[in-house]
Amino acid sequence: MWVSDNPSITLSTYALGSCVAVVAYDSFAKVGGMLHMMLPDSKISPSKAVSQPAMFVDTGLPLLFDALANLKTEPRRLRIFVAGGASVRCSDDSFRIGERNVRVTADFLSQHGYVARQTAVGGTINRTVHLNIATGEVTLKTPVTNDSFLLAA
């Protein structure tokens, strides 16, 4: 997890497979954050949840939004992008970790009044995401695309 109000910073996460990234940006405060989560539920490893809470959707997302609030963002101004949740190892993923990560993330956001403005989830390809803190520009790279958009808009 990373949050920043430094305009010279670009936050990045690489090769999201079944993992999910949540990117949040407040264009008024010029503050952004990014969280790369591996698993949906911390109950599978309570000790890991204590030492690495950002690893799990249920413990990581509260950390992200608290850290953003500490940098003077306001929930109503946050623009949110969600990426990842793919099934890249095989087409018959019996654990459905990516799918579960996306579902738990969407449920958390909805329950807390957040709306993801854009998503790039599911499928079978990995994704890399960059957030430019100065502009709110998000770059989404996959093995077949390289897209950019303003999360601040």
Residues 42-94: pLDDT tens digits? 999 999 999 999 999 999 999 999 999 999 999 999 999 999 999 977 656 56
- Please list the active-site residues: 19
Token readout for 151 is 């999360």
Instruction: Copy the structure tokens of residue 121.
Output: 């989830």
Q: Return the domain boundaries, the chain.
A: 2-150
Instruction: Tell me the whole-structure pTM to 2 decimals.
Output: 0.94
Residues in the chain: 153
**Per-residue pLDDT, 91:** 57
Q: Quickly state the pLDDT bin for 152 (edges 50, 70, 90).
A: confident
The correct answer on CATH 3.30.1330.200 for the domain covering 2-150 is: yes
Q: What is the pLDDT of residues 111-131, one digit of tens each?
A: 999 999 999 999 999 999 999
